[in-house]
């Protein structure tokens, strides 16, 4: 890992605190970062020594209170988070970056308003647009900076989202491989998953290519 001064130069996130974090998947090191301007607090869960690994297993995950805390079946966020932590623990080395950008970046209040519109028949993209937002407002610059702070430059990214893949690469993260992260569909999220696939281009098949 680089020196503290090297790691913090020209970053818009600053490291605030860290501790040992035992979970049902194993023991991680938890780091908290504050994003300048917004004041958002982002988290990195680290296992092993990812700065020493080539193409370390990585998940960049955006906050979803309803799916992760309340167990909502409207999305696949909770199961994706759980699966990512399990796979990192199984590998014994990896990083999970948890970004505080609820509802694809529109916040909790607007996300619940979007849910109400979906109950009236709109899909997730249409609901966001009805509220005056783009389909996805999430930003991945903070995640790239957190990875750099951790000394990680080359990853195997667990995602189905090609926009996330492109955004991280544009921020200078080398993605050696994309690994699909699949949740079992249910009666409440089938439409949501279909919208991801058909309207947002999400890829639910493994990517066997490497770079």
Matching residue, tokens 């991801």: 196
| 104 annotated as ligand-binding | yes
Task: Name the active-site residue from 76, 123, 138, 156.
Answer: 138
| 86 annotated as ligand-binding | no
7 tagged catalytic: no
Task: Measure the CA–CA gap between 190 and 8, rounded to whole angstroms.
Answer: 42
Task: Name the active-site residue from 76, 87, 136, 148.
Answer: 136
| 103 annotated as ligand-binding | yes
| 124 annotated as ligand-binding | yes
Terminal Cα distance for the chain, rounded? 23
43: β partners:
32, 98
Task: Measure the CA–CA gap between 180 and 156, rounded to whole angstroms.
Answer: 10
| 62 annotated as ligand-binding | yes
Task: Measure the CA–CA gap between 155 and 58, rounded to whole angstroms.
Answer: 6
| 59 annotated as ligand-binding | yes
| 179 annotated as ligand-binding | no
40 tagged catalytic: no
DSSP per-residue letters across 31-94? EEEEETTT--EEEEEEES-GGGSSSEEEEEEE--HHHHTS--SSSSHHHHHHHHHHHHHHHT-E
| 209 annotated as ligand-binding | no
- Short-list 74, 103, 102, CA closest to 183: 74
| 14 annotated as ligand-binding | no
| 172 annotated as ligand-binding | no
Indicate the annotated binding residues for Zn(2+). Answer: 64, 75, 77
Task: List residues with catalytic annotation.
Answer: 136, 138
Binding residue ranges for GTP:
59-63, 80, 102-104, 124, 159, 164
- Residue positions forming the annotated binding site: 59-64, 75, 77, 80, 102-104, 124, 159, 164
């Amino acid at each position: 890992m680089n020196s503290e001064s090297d790691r913090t130069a020209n970053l818009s996130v600053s490291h605030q605190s860290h501790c040992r974090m035992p979970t049902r998947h194993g023991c991680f090191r938890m780091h908290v970062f504050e994003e300048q301007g917004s004041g958002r607090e982002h988290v990195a869960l680290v296992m092993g020594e990812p700065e020493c690994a080539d193409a370390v297993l990585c998940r960049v995950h955006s906050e979803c209170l309803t799916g992760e805390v309340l167990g909502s079946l409207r999305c696949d966020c909770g199961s994706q988070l759980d699966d990512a932590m399990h796979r990192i623990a199984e590998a014994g080395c990896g990083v999970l970056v948890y970004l505080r950008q609820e509802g694809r970046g529109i916040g909790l209040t607007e996300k619940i308003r979007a849910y109400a519109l979906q109950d009236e028949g709109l899909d997730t993209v249409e609901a966001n647009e009805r509220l005056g937002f783009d389909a996805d407002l999430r930003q991945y610059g903070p995640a790239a900076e957190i990875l750099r702070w951790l000394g990680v430059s080359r990853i195997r990214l667990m995602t189905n989202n090609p926009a996330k893949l492109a955004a991280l690469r544009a921020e200078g993260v080398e993605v050696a491989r994309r690994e699909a992260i699949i949740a079992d569909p249910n009666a409440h999220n089938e439409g949501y998953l279909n919208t991801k696939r058909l309207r947002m281009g999400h890829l639910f098949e493994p990517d066997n290519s490497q770079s």
